[in-house]
Chain A
Amino acid sequence: GNSVTQMEGPVTLSEEAFLTINCTYTATGYPSLFWYVQYPGEGLQLLLKATKADDKGSNKGFEATYRKETTSFHLEKGSVQVSDSAVYFCALSPSSASKIIFGSGTRLSIRP
């Protein structure tokens, strides 16, 4: 079946630190991969996506590369800010379906 496993949190970093949140997936076919973010008190929003192998999604300084050989889609940012504090969800959409399958989320806290 289809599933997503992501790094458990919480993750606490100092401002300007390098961030990696690991994500691996299991899927049949060629899924699309996503990172969603949920800021405190706000709804879920799409951060970035990649639709095929070796694609790199990027937004707001965050990047993730679709690695089919390792079935991974790790989220990275070179220098985090306090405003990046949120819950991050790795997710996939199977190639033959429209639904999204989410990981359990990683809470990120950035110290000033």
Chain B
Amino acid sequence: GAGVSQTPSNKVTEKGKYVELRCDPISGHTALYWYRQSLGQGPEFLIYFQGTGAADDSGLPNDRFFAVRPEGSVSTLKIQRTERGDSAVYLCASSLDWGNEQFFGPGTRLTVL
């Protein structure tokens, strides 16, 4: 079956611009996660949704980052006033429920010039 998909696969933007990154989880998965992976590092947790609500947003680095999951399926990560330090691969994962195996998408590579 279809895995987690993320669009776009690559995004290049200029400093100060707004970007949206989309994640389509595996159908039926209630839990959705966003991670950020900088070059040469492991993924860092950003936020976790259970259904429509953000159950844990402790990893969001500052208030420029925001994520939504309005219908409990697709999620959008939104970054305002992008900075060069935001350049990274943004990974999305989904799991059947809390505590189950997380399945990762291919990521969106964000480059802020």
- Give chain A's interface residues, CB within 8 Å of chain B: 4, 42-46, 49, 89, 91, 93, 97-105
Q: Select the residue from A43, A93, A103 with max chain B CB neighbours within 10 A.
A: A43
Contact of B72 with A by CB under 8 A: no
Taken together as a complex, chains A and B put the C-alpha atoms of A97 and B57 apart, in Å, by: 12
User: A43-B105, A44-B104 given as contacts; is B41 within 8 A of A99 (CB)?
Assistant: no
Are B48 and A98 interface neighbours, CB within 8 A? yes
- With an 8 Å Cβ cutoff, the count of chain B residues facing the other chain is 25
Taken together as a complex, chains A and B put the C-alpha atoms of A10 and B59 apart, in Å, by: 28
Taken together as a complex, chains A and B put the C-alpha atoms of A58 and B108 apart, in Å, by: 30
Are B33 and A45 interface neighbours, CB within 8 A? no
Tell me whether chain B's interface is mostly helix, strand or loop, or mixed.
loop
Of the listed stretches B14-22, B75-83, B94-102, name the one at the interface; the rest are far from the partner chain: B94-102
Instruction: Give the residue name and chain of the B residue nearest to A103 (CB).
Output: B42
Are A101 and B45 interface neighbours, CB within 8 A? yes
Q: Which residues of A contact B56 (CB under 8 A)?
A: 97-99
Taken together as a complex, chains A and B put the C-alpha atoms of A4 and B48 apart, in Å, by: 20
Q: Which residues of B contact A102 (CB under 8 A)?
A: 42-44
